[in-house]
């Protein structure tokens, strides 16, 4: 039960899942005819921006074993 409450293996991936489902929904709505191409592209760009902002903030402060470039 604790895994379900804390998110299990999707604990840090919720934003990615929501962005992916939103993009798929926008493409599906365009293919069905519920929205035009401009609305679909606006939705895709917005959700892609959320995806990349989350990815950038999750790697912020990590150097991955490289030097940070700061001169001491």
Using alpha carbons, select from 54, 19, 23, 17 the residue that is nearest to residue 40. 23
Domain count, the chain: 1
Q: Above 80 in pLDDT, residue 65? A: no
What's the pTM value of the predicted model, to 2 decimals?
0.65
In a domain, 21, yes or no: yes
R_g over Cα of the chain = 18
In a domain, 69, yes or no: no
In a domain, 24, yes or no: yes
pLDDT tens-place string over residues 11-43: 777 888 888 899 999 999 999 999 999 999 999
In a domain, 53, yes or no: yes
In a domain, 25, yes or no: yes
Per-residue model confidence (pLDDT) at position 45? 94
In a domain, 50, yes or no: yes
Per-residue model confidence (pLDDT) at position 29? 96
What residue numbers bound the domain in which 19 lies? 12-59
């Amino acid at each position: 039960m604790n895994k379900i409450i804390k998110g299990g293996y999707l604990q840090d991936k919720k934003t990615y899942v929501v962005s992916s489902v939103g993009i798929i929904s926008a493409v599906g709505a365009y293919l069905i005819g519920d929205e035009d191409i401009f609305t679909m592209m606006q939705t895709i760009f917005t959700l892609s921006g959320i995806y990349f902002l989350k990815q950038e903030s999750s790697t912020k402060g990590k150097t991955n074993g490289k030097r940070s470039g700061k001169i001491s």
